[in-house]
Chain A
Amino acid sequence: MTLSGTASSELITDDWRIHGSVYTSADVFALEQRRLFHGPWLYVAHESELREPGDYKTTFAGTQPVIVTRGSDDGRIRVLLNRCRHRGAAVCHAESGNANYFRCPYHGWTYRNSGELRGITYDDAYPELDREALGLVALPRVASFAGFIFATFADAGPTLEDYLGNARSYLEIVAGQGEAGIRLTAGSHRLAYRGNWKLQVENTIDNYHFGFVHRSFLDVLADRIGAAPPIVQNIMNNPDWRTIDLGGGHSVHEFGDPHTGNNQGQLGDLPFNLIIFPNLCFVGAQVRHILPKAADRTEVRLYPIMHEGEPDEANAAILRVHESFYGPAGMGGADDIEVAFDRVSDGLGAVEHDWLIMSRGVHREQPGENGTLIGHAADEVPQRAFYRQWKRLMEDAA
């Protein structure tokens, strides 16, 4: 498949220049939906969001709206397309709820929360309808790892564990953050911007920007502690802070030991930032789910990670730290939206020389265990990890 005459392979050069259309083209976006979001495993929920039979939440698999449900009688997790089989209305509207049956708001078609069509209003008008074939469409495979639920549109392919590969041990560490595990019961807050979804993925592990975009945050921090905060020095000079291409498009930035590291920046206590290809991230004290909407439109849902088995005061403190940097009135998130998303999207409007440079530190990437590549904390290792997999999938035969 070509993109208006340009092959995907021509959009990323051997010396790591990325063509601007990767972020702006509707054709690229459409192909991403077929290759990146229709086959690979996609994150949909955490088990703590669906604890009781009948619990459900609404979210997206790529651009497709889905309902994640826990079966009323069998407790099984299913992922169903949120689209009435009659005239296409989204059957569920609430972000989350508990219901053993769903009733479409348009004409009242009613489904079990396992998907089967249970009934139709005034059904004598449909003497020949094959009701058994008209359940909500289920994604064929759903699996969970360390409490994180993923689904795929592919009938066959790698297991979730194989797909996660070297990222598994990091997900297990996230799952063990609390005394008795974690829960995403604080809900989410959302941000939206007019720009490409990959800008948020790339910005999740980009230590290079921190001292520039978040200068005002660092100044406030310096006033509080009476000295320059150590985070920028650590990024530039601490050999234990490192970025790693985990393979499969996944990447991580470790703040030292992945079990005990600390970002020393009052950003939340996760000992690393982690990207699970294509659109799930962990940063600070949050799960960050990035929802592509169009080439130039993105929604991001941020779920603070609560610690199970710890006092309310401890969890309240997690929320306050999270809000102080990432919240709507926080000192960091708004800067990222303005500079890393809005300003980049503005600049990409200049197309005379339409290339970005993603080669920082490529000469000093070192091979690690299990096929990983290890680089400097401020290098563009995570971005290249992402685009190696992006290129592989985009070039696959249709």
Chain B
Amino acid sequence: MSGENGSRRERGQARLELSSEFAAVSVEVDQQANGPRLRIENRQNRRVVYLDPLEVASLTWLTHERLGPFLDPSQTGWRSHDEGEDQA
């Protein structure tokens, strides 16, 4: 589901860029697979995640509080024992 920078982005897709003082991401629909996926790229470290429609639909059930574990830096990009993990 997630991985390094996807290189097969189909040209012509609308690409949205969102940034704040805390993060910068680009979002677009990816058509390289057998069905459409949402491609999200962290522009600070080039890390990419692909989400299918069911996953995106399920995100609408989230509260911001329940998303909290992903915002804990020691649970994501800043774990002490992850060698080679990109940060940000």
Name A's B-contacting residues (CB within 8 A). Answer: 53-54, 72-73, 92-94, 97-103, 108-110, 112, 118-125
Contact = CB atoms under 8 A, between A and B. Distances in A.
Contact of A122 (B22, B63, B68, B79): B79
Nearest to A97: B20
B68 A103 contact: no
B73 A103 contact: yes
Interface in B46-71: 63-65, 67-68, 71
B20 to A, nearest CB: 5
A271 B14 CA distance: 50
Given A93-B21, A103-B23, A124-B74, 4 more contacts: A72-B63, A72-B64, A73-B63, A118-B72
Given A72-B64, A124-B80, A92 B21 contact: yes
A43 B78 CA distance: 38
Contacts of A102: 22
Interface residues of B, number: 17
A108 B78 contact: yes
A49 to B, nearest CB: 16
B73 A110 contact: yes
30 contacts: A53-B64, A54-B64, A72-B63, A94-B20, A97-B21, A98-B20, A99-B20, A99-B21, A99-B22, A100-B64, A101-B22, A101-B64, A102-B22, A103-B22, A108-B78, A110-B71, A112-B64, A118-B68, A118-B72, A119-B71, A119-B72, A119-B73, A119-B74, A120-B74, A121-B73, A122-B74, A122-B78, A122-B80, A124-B74, A124-B80
Contacts of A53: 64
A73 B61 CA distance: 12
A92 B20 CA distance: 10
Contacts of B64: 53-54, 72-73, 100-101, 112
B22 A121 contact: no
A93 B73 CA distance: 20
Contact of B74 (A72, A99, A123): A123
B75 interface: yes
Contacts of A98: 20
Interface of B: 20-23, 63-65, 67-68, 71-75, 78-80
A94 B79 CA distance: 28
A121 B20 contact: no
B68 A112 contact: yes
B65 A121 contact: no
A300 to B, nearest CB: 24
Rank and list the top 6 A-B pairs by shortest CB-CB distance, nearest first: A119-B72, A121-B78, A72-B64, A123-B74, A100-B64, A121-B73
A102 to B, nearest CB: 7
A41 to B, nearest CB: 29
A93 B63 CA distance: 25
B75 to A, nearest CB: 7
Contacts of A109: 73
B76 to A, nearest CB: 9
A227 B65 CA distance: 64
B48 to A, nearest CB: 20
Contact of A120 (B23, B67, B68, B73): B73
Q: Which of B64, B79, B80 lies at the interface centre, i.e. has the most chain A CB atoms within 10 A of its CB?
A: B64
B87 to A, nearest CB: 9
Contacts of B68: 101, 112, 118
B83 to A, nearest CB: 13
Nearest to A54: B64
Q: Which of A53, A54, A119, A122 lies at the interface centre, i.e. has the most chain B CB atoms within 10 A of its CB?
A: A119
A103 B21 CA distance: 9
A124 B82 CA distance: 13
